[in-house]
Structure 1
Amino acid sequence: MILKVRNLVVNYGVINAIKGVNFEINEGEIVSLIGANGAGKTTILKSISGLLKPAEGSISYFGKDIGRKKAPEIVAAGISQVPEGRHIFPGLSVKENLQMGAFLQKDRQQIKESMDEVYERFHILKKRENQDAATLSGGEQQMLAIGRALMSKPKLLLLDEPSMGLAPIFINKIFEIIEAIKQQGTTILLIEQNAKKALSISDRGYVLVAGEIKMNGAGNKLLSDPAVQKAYLGG
């Protein structure tokens, strides 16, 4: 098991955002976390990646509690996050943005190998490597954000709303990319408003409602569940 979250409680001041959440991810899986806006999905991701500190509970990564570790330590351990809204660095080239993803690496040869692997996966980024990242299309920026996260060679990739704001043609492409990343051995925790798409590629899923897990199961089982269809799939 790569990640185990137990009795996680996260507060924003006096607001109890996450209320005793439990879930786990096995190595090699895609696991989706679905729920309405404000349910607490991003808060959970930020807690795993060290951007927020839990009030209670534990987050275990390969059996070691990382709930109190700082974000750079967590990246160094093998967890990378692609944030909602992409957050590429404007004014820096595509290549420079990718290099930012390897900021903890000291081995130049390893950085070059990582860059070559990203360019092999995203040919358009190679073509645009000297271009200001801010001039890329939304879909290209999302590819850049994923590529930047892959530069640190993560064992666990956290994806926060990767299809948000993208044209339909790019949405399909992004989900193909997510599946390909899994096939190459990276475990993925996916947060996605497009619940139908997310569950269709997920081994398992969890439904988050107001800071609590209300349902969980295999992705295809949740897809066909009437309650999930009514709440999230327009059924």
Structure 2
Amino acid sequence: MVMLKVDNLSVHYGMIHAVKKVSFEVKQGEIVSLIGANGAGKTTILHTLSGLVKPSEGTMTFMDEPLEKMPAAKIVKSGLIQVPEGRHIFSGLTVLENLELGAYLYPNRAESQMIMKTVFERFPVLAERKNQEASTLSGGEQQMLAMGRALMSRPKLLLLDEPSMGLAPIFIREIFSIIKEINQQGTTVLLIEQNAKMALSIADRGYVLETGKLVLEGTGENLLQSSEVQKAYLGG
């Protein structure tokens, strides 16, 4: 089943043509990676899918519902949830308060507590530090908090924007392992990453963006072996 279908998507920032007739799809149960250099248009695509930026052309369909004119809050309610680049946690609130904000779609206390329990099981460090201010967490722990907050909304499709940015190598490996676990437990993932090797190593399929255009697509394994990808992104 195709969960997300993007067809001929174009996005402008004033005179700047940031995304140029991009088409791709994400099937239920997949991890799909969008890779490319800084400025390739990856984050713009996620912001457009989330309703934060309006497309100038093209269509986006999620679970058979068009997204182009759907308000951002309704997109979240439909199950399309983004973990933004840079994490954007609420640093002055506690870990627990951050997670509770992610559960605003579930006002039923018992239901939100049940989701919280699963998040704490996946991220034990958050349970240990639930009463600490989020600002006191390390970068890797803050990324876990941002992902945990998104999971509190029970996403059908999780959009991850540069989850490894600024993290130490040990945390990068842990974050990608967690992404695989989240996917194996039933959440479809669209992953935006500059770390092409890590992103493609866990992806079912991938797409390569250059200056707003899609230039390559294939399975994660095939793209890892591609001489073009190796030369441009893997130092080959």
Give the TM interval when normalised to the shorter protein.
Answer: over 0.9
User: What CA distance in whole angstroms lies between the structure 2 residues aligned with 1:113 and 1:88?
Assistant: 22
Match of 1:179 in 2: 180
Residue aligning to 1:61 = 62
| 3-state secondary structure, aligned to 2:216 | strand
Shift of residue 64, structure 1, vs aligned partner: 1.4
Residue 149 of structure 1 corresponds to 150
Q: How many residues align?
A: 235
> Is 1:10 paired with 2:25?
no
- Give the superposition deviation at 1:105: 2.1
CA deviations 1:164-201 (Å, max 9, x no partner) are 11111111000000000000010000011110010000
Question: What's 1:210 paired with?
Answer: 211
Query: What amino acid does structure 1 have at the position aligned with 2:83?
Result: V
Task: For 1:11 and 1:114, locate their aligned partners in 2 and report how far apart those are by CA, in whole Å.
Answer: 38
Letter in 2 for 1:77: S
Show CA shifts across 1:186-217 (max 9, x none).
00000111100100000000000111100000
Q: Given the alignment of the two structures, is residue 162 of structure 1 paired with residue 149 of structure 2, yes or no? A: no
Q: How far apart, CA to CA, are the structure 2 residues paired with 1:211 and 1:55? A: 14
Partner of 1:79: 80
Q: With structure 2 as the length reference, what TM-score do the two structures score?
A: 0.98
The equivalent of 1:198 in structure 2 is 199
1:84 deviation in Å? Answer: 0.5
Matched, 1:89 2:90: yes
- Offset at residue 67 of structure 1 (A): 1.5
1:45 matched to which residue of 2? Answer: 46
Measured against aligned partners, the alpha-carbon deviations of 1:22-60 in whole angstroms (never above 9, x if no partner) come to 000000000000001000000000011111111111100
DSSP-derived class of the 1:46 partner: helix
Q: What CA distance in whole angstroms lies between the structure 1 residues aligned with 2:155 and 2:30? A: 14
Aligned equivalents of 1:230, 1:120: Cα separation in 2: 40
Instruction: Give the superposition deviation at 1:104.
Output: 2.4
- Percent identity among equivalent residues? 63
| Counterpart position of 2:137 | 136
**Cα distance in 1, alignment partners of residues 101 and 13 from structure 2:** 29
Distance 1:48 1:181 in 2: 21
Give the letter aligned to residue 44 of structure 1.
Answer: I
5+ residue gaps, structure 1, are none
CA distance in 2: counterparts of 1:201 and 1:67, whole angstroms: 29
Q: Secondary structure at the match of 1:2?
A: strand
CA RMSD of aligned residues (A): 0.6
1:123 corresponds to: 124
Residues in 1 aligned to 2:187 and 2:205: alpha-carbon distance in whole angstroms: 15
Which runs of structure 1 show a deviation greater than 4 angstroms over 4 or more consecutive aligned residues? none
Task: Tell me the CA shift for residue 224 of structure 1.
Answer: 0.3
Query: For 2:196 and 2:190, how far apart are their aligned partners in 1?
Result: 13
Q: Distance in 1 between matches of 2:36 and 2:79?
A: 26
1:70 partner amino acid: P
Q: Which residue of 2 aligns with 1:35?
A: 36
- Aligned-partner Cα distance in 1 for 2:153–2:228: 39
Could you say what secondary structure the match of 2:189 adopts?
strand
- The 1-side partners of 2:106 and 2:53 are apart by 24
Q: Runs of 5+ in structure 2 lacking a partner? A: none
